[in-house]
Chain A
């Protein structure tokens, strides 16, 4: 019974306690750059999640075949294979999204979350655990990026996911600050401060 609890913990840890962006502070570039609107943020979240889950699965499946000395290049090849798949699928089926995300699609390959999980988790654990870990971290990543996208889109256009809901004064006087880079930095800073206050505090004190 104890075992079962542990397995599910891999999944739930990634969402808040070990959130890749807000707690581990990795994978910042795509988070800030692609969270200008909620839809783009969601697209980026799904793309990175696909690569993370697949590479975790493959790395853990072949972990006994990889010699220790060349494990990093092998991880990079596995990850870049999936990134290439995402790159071409997105170009074919979501060209508008691809144009917005631009160079950040191939840059998923150097997203520290993915290489970090391959090295720190998938290389040492079984397939099911690695899947749960990848899935949890993906939810954590997508959640943060979409919430940021919603906030930035709301303040800069008065709409969420392209649906106008904001009050009139926000639509006629959008807070352009939020779509420009400073808004992204400010939001992440505020999120991180809140996480420090409410989540990490108990651990560091206890």
Chain B
């Protein structure tokens, strides 16, 4: 198990990249990565919500579910907490931080059913990370999500104008492009001795 915070960050950021290596959070990946601005808005929102929900669910798991022996409620509790949290954050931003809300407001409801958020909250429990390590892991994962989605949106903007067969247009060519990007990321396996 990795304990060094720097290695946790690198592993979550690149080596075990949540989109390309773990295959989590693909629905927003293909849905939102059509232009650079939406990709940027989405990744900011993901960073924000991922950090908050990791803290909240970590605290709930360790201070409520474990002492009360209610671990079997984990799935239900986490998803409900995240859904409520996202709703709350949305209202809070709308009232107090108008600029931030206009930047990422429309992406917040979409994030509730983003598997990436829920996966991170489960993974930090499975890996038995401390709150500090969980924070590093969440930041690294969100950065990895952002990096790939922003890189990929640039590729997709070019693909729009590529002269390809009609049945390949849209999703199929996006998947094939994702395959090539993932192939590039495979090269990072073994970096600092980190494996898949």
Interface residues of A (CB under 8 A from B): 25-26, 28-29, 32-33, 72-73, 76-77, 80-81, 83-84, 87-88, 102-103, 106-107, 109-112, 115, 177, 180-186, 188-190, 192-194, 196-197, 201
Contacts and interface: CB of A to CB of B under 8 A. Distances in A.
Contacts of B183: 177, 182
B76 A80 contact: yes
Given A76-B79, A84-B75, A192-B175, A29 B182 contact: no
B83 interface: yes
A81 B115 contact: no
Interface secondary structure of B, over-half rule: helix
Nearest to B26: A28
Interface residues of B, number: 44
Given A88-B72, A183-B179, A193-B168, A32 B122 contact: no
A26 B183 CA distance: 23
Interface stretch (B5-13, B15-23, B33-41, B45-53): B15-23
Contact of B122 (A76, A106, A115, A180): A106
A19 to B, nearest CB: 13
B175 A33 contact: no
A110 B115 contact: yes
B175 A110 contact: no
Nearest to A184: B23
Nearest to B180: A182
B173 interface: yes
A185 B119 contact: no
A107 B119 contact: yes
A25 B171 contact: yes
Most A-side CB within 10 Å, residue of B126, B167, B178, B179: B179
Contacts of B166: 196
A107 B24 contact: yes
B193 interface: no
Interface string B103-129: 000000000011100110011001000
**Chain A at the B interface: mostly helix, strand, loop or mixed?**
helix
Contact of B186 (A26, A180, A193, A197): A180
A15 B117 CA distance: 30
Given A115-B113, A181-B182, A29 B167 contact: no
29 contacts: A25-B30, A28-B23, A29-B23, A29-B24, A29-B25, A33-B23, A33-B24, A73-B83, A77-B76, A77-B80, A80-B80, A103-B126, A106-B118, A107-B24, A110-B118, A177-B183, A181-B179, A181-B182, A182-B179, A182-B180, A182-B186, A183-B179, A185-B175, A185-B179, A189-B175, A189-B179, A190-B176, A194-B167, A196-B168
Given A29-B23, A29-B115, A107-B119, A192 B171 contact: yes
A77 B77 CA distance: 9
A107 B83 CA distance: 15
B175 A109 contact: no
Nearest to A25: B171
Contact of B172 (A29, A33, A111, A193): A193
A200 B138 CA distance: 40
B98 interface: no
Nearest to B113: A110
A103 B119 contact: yes
Interface string B70-92: 00111110011001000000000
B83 A185 contact: no
Contacts of B72: 84, 88
B80 A181 contact: no
Given A29-B25, A109-B75, A181 B171 contact: no
